[in-house]
């Protein structure tokens, strides 16, 4: 039986591990800290339209969006855990001076996607000039998703090791073994999914974008309100307010400036949120690339999957299927070429 080591325990790594284990591979997961992954603090929006994505990145994201109901159902069966998934649409908030968003919506509508223009409700501020309802979008509770993935890893008998992999020993394009602080690890195939931390192992143009977010309560919001300055996401237990976008390295500090930005921007959309009570603060590090698209690096006996930036949660199902197709059937999907790390090589 082929042995595969997955390095990293974020949503991309664990989703891939799940499908590979289910396909019959012997899968081990190695992670420095299972609670470190940015996936735990993500808003969980499934929003390729609201993000304004285009071209092949939109196609990739839309395909993954459509996989989500079956992916969550499968995960629930394997893990025995419930994962909240809402697929009833997202309200894209259009602020004054953002008329280009209507043009973008019209372009999506002309391609046959479900788009509806709505009048702003009395809940919203006077800065809001319109609402674009993207009916196909939704959200998943990222914490419940990650919990279920960890339960699935355990129930399927995958080995789960806590160690910091400091080096992948290579011979040309082949990984010979992994060096961790606790020992040496060998496998037939390696899957590197360490997000914003991938540069410690591979020379790829990935950098962290810090995001601070809030959990609040005592505010009622019926559905996601996504704007250029804030996104407000209803949950069964709280409301999620996100998120800053900062180039501050891996600084984990929650700052007063960050809290001020989050609060002011949320109130700019829904003024009544001034009465919301703070439950907790969150911080994570998105793995960004220079062109804001994923990076896939294919080696002789390894894959690197990184650079998903704001869409790691959204991209998990299709990325896991891409990995499964490659290792089970030897099929290299076109997206592996589209998002190849080779695009950053000097000519």
Rounded mean pLDDT for each run of 10 residues along the chain, 347 residues in total: 94 98 97 90 97 97 98 98 97 97 98 97 95 98 97 96 98 97 97 97 97 94 94 93 95 96 97 96 97 97 97 98 96 95 86
pLDDT for the residue numbered 35: 86
pLDDT for the residue numbered 293: 97
Residue 201 CB coordination number (10 Å): 18
Residue partners of 260: CB distance under 8 A and separation at least 6: none
Residue partners of 162: CB distance under 8 A and separation at least 6: 30, 31, 32, 33, 34
pLDDT for the residue numbered 333: 92
pLDDT for the residue numbered 97: 96
CATH number (domain holding residue 196):
3.50.50.60
Buried b (16+ CB within 10 A) or exposed e, 106-128: eebeeeeeebeeeebeebbeebb
pLDDT for the residue numbered 220: 84
Q: Are residues 184 and 162 in the same domain?
A: yes
Query: Parallel, antiparallel, or unpaired for β 159-162 and 231-234?
Result: unpaired
List strand residue ranges (DSSP E) for the chain, in order: 3-7, 26-31, 45-46, 85-86, 90-95, 115-118, 128-134, 138-140, 159-162, 165-171, 174-180, 184-185, 189-192, 207-217, 225-226, 231-234, 239-242, 277-288, 295-298, 302-306
| Domain final residue, candidates 244, 262, 286 | 286
Residue 28: domain span: 3-82+141-206+290-344
CATH number (domain holding residue 271):
3.30.9.10
pLDDT for the residue numbered 347: 63
pTM: 0.96
Q: Are residues 223 and 264 in the same domain?
A: yes
Q: Are residues 146 and 46 in the same domain?
A: yes
Q: Are residues 70 and 173 in the same domain?
A: yes
Rg (CA), the chain: 20
Closest CA to 19 of 31, 8, 6: 6
């Amino acid at each position: 039986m082929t042995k595969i080591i997955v390095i990293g325990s974020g949503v991309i790594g664990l989703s891939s591990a799940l499908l590979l284990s289910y396909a019959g591979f012997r899968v081990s997961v190695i992670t420095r800290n299972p609670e470190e992954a940015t996936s735990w603090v993500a808003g969980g929006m499934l929003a390729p339209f609201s993000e304004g994505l285009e071209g092949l990145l939109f196609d990739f994201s839309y395909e993954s969006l459509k996989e989500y109901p079956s992916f969550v159902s499968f995960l629930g069966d394997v893990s025995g855990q419930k994962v909240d998934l809402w697929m009833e649409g997202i309200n894209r908030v259009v602020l004054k001076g953002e008329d280009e968003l209507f043009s973008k919506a019209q372009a999506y509508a002309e391609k046959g996607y479900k788009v509806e223009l709505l009048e702003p409700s009395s809940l919203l501020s006077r800065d809001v000039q319109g609402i674009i309802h993207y009916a196909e979008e939704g959200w998943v509770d990222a914490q419940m998703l990650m919990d279920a993935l960890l339960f699935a890893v355990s129930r399927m008998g995958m080995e789960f090791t806590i160690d910091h992999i400091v080096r992948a020993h290579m011979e040309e394009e082949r990984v010979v073994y992994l060096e961790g602080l606790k020992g040496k690890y060998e496998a037939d195939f390696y899957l590197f999914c360490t997000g914003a931390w991938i540069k410690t192992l591979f020379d790829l143009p990935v950098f962290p974008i810090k995001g601070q977010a809030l959990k609040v309560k005592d505010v009622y919001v019926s559905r996601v309100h996504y704007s250029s300055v804030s996104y407000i996401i209803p949950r069964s237990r709280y409301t999620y307010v996100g998120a800053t976008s900062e180039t501050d390295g891996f600084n984990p500090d929650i700052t007063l400036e960050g809290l001020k930005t989050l609060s002011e921007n949320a109130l700019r959309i829904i003024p009544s949120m001034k009465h919301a009570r703070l439950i907790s603060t969150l911080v994570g590090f998105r793995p960004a690339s220079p062109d804001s698209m994923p990076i896939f690096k294919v080696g002789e006996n390894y894959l690197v999957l990184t650079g998903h930036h704001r869409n790691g949660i959204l991209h998990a199902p299709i990325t896991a299927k891409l990995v499964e197709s490659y290792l089970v059937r030897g099929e290299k999907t076109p997206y592996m070429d589209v998002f190849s790390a080779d695009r950053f090589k000097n000519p």
